[in-house]
Amino acid sequence: MIEDIPELDNRGRDRDCGSYSVETIDVIVCVYIFEGMSTRDMDNKILEVDPNKNHGWKSFAILHHFGLGIAFKGYFIGKTPESVIELMCGKDDYNEIVDCIRRHNDGYPRYADSELETVVEVHDKEGKRLLRYGTVYERSKRNRDAVIRIHGTKCMVYGFDFEKTYGEIGRNFIEVHHIKPLFTSEEMIIDPETDMVCLCSNCHRMIHRIKGKILTCDELKEMIY
C-alpha cells in the first residue's frame, strides 16, 4: 500500500508544455505515473513525433512542467485513480496533477487493470486516436444473466421498459449495476439477487454522476419522485 509519494522536482517547472491539448497532456501525465511508459515511447505513440527525431524530449518537457521526475515513473502501477487522488488531495503542490487525473478519469473511473486502450477524441474534429489510461475489472456474464433473470428488464429505479418503448429492438435490454463497486475491493463473490440491480441507461449514469460518491437506488428515487 502506498502511504507517501515522491517529492516533486521543482527545477525548470516553468518549462512550456507546448501547443498540446489539455486532453493530450492529461494522457501523458497519467500514462507516465500509472503505466511507467518511457518518454521516448510517449513521444512516438501519443505525441506522434517523427521517429527519426524522437528523443523523448517533448513528453519530458510536459512532465517537467508538473515536477514529475524519474521517481514518479510507474510509481502508481496497479493503483486506482481514486486512491491516488485521495493521497494527493490537500497537498497544494500536487493540485495540477490531481486535476489531470480527474479530467482523464472522468466518465469511466471504474473499469481494467493498467492497460492502454484506443479511444476517439470528440471535439470539433473527430476521430483522432489517443492512448487512454483506464482500469477495467472483470465481470461475470453468468452474474449478469442471473440478475436479469431475478429482477427482470425494467429499471429498478424509474421503471423504464426498453421493449415497451422501443419494441423488438429493446427486448431483453437493460444495464446492470453493482451496488458495491468492484474497484473498492479485491476479487469477491457476488450474489446477483442482493449485490446487483437492473437500471436503465439514464439512471445508471446518474448513480455514478457525483465524483467520489455512488448513489443508492433509494437516493436516486428520492430525486425523481
Q: How far apart are the first and last CA of the chain?
A: 42
Domain boundary among 87, 110, 134: 134
Using 50, 70 and 90 to split pLDDT, how confident is the model at 44? confident
Examine the domain organization and report whether 105 and 182 are in the same domain. Answer: no
Examine the domain organization and report whether 39 and 74 are in the same domain. Answer: yes
Examine the domain organization and report whether 180 and 200 are in the same domain. Answer: yes
Using 50, 70 and 90 to split pLDDT, how confident is the model at 187? low
User: The whole model's pTM is what?
Assistant: 0.49
123 inside domain: yes
Inter-helix orientation angle 57-66/22-35, to 10°: 90
Q: Report the number of distinct structural domains present in the chain.
A: 2
State the greatest distance between any 2 C-alpha atoms of the chain, in Å, as a whole number: 62
Share in percent of the chain as helix, strand, coil (round to 5): 45, 15, 40
Closest CA to 43 of 29, 27, 59, 61: 59
The three grid cell numbers given for residue 21, joined into one nine-digit string:
491539448
Examine the domain organization and report whether 55 and 103 are in the same domain. Answer: yes
Examine the domain organization and report whether 166 and 87 are in the same domain. Answer: no
- The torsion of the CA quartet 7, 9, 14, 17, rounded to 10 degrees, works out to -90
Domain boundary among 134, 163, 195: 134
The three grid cell numbers given for residue 25, joined into one nine-digit string:
497532456
Q: Is the pLDDT of residue 222 over 50?
A: yes
Examine the domain organization and report whether 96 and 145 are in the same domain. Answer: no
Structural domain including 75 reads: 22-134
What burial class does residue 157 get, using C-beta atoms within 10 Å of its C-beta: 0-12 exposed, 13-18 middle, 19+ buried? buried
Examine the domain organization and report whether 102 and 187 are in the same domain. Answer: no
- Evaluated on CA atoms 121, 125, 129, 131, the torsion sign reads negative
Please report the pLDDT score of residue 182 as a whole number.
55
As beta bridge partners, residue 117 has 132
Average pLDDT over residues 52-64: 83
For 121-160, write each residue's pLDDT tens digit.
444 445 555 555 554 444 557 888 888 999 999 999 999 9
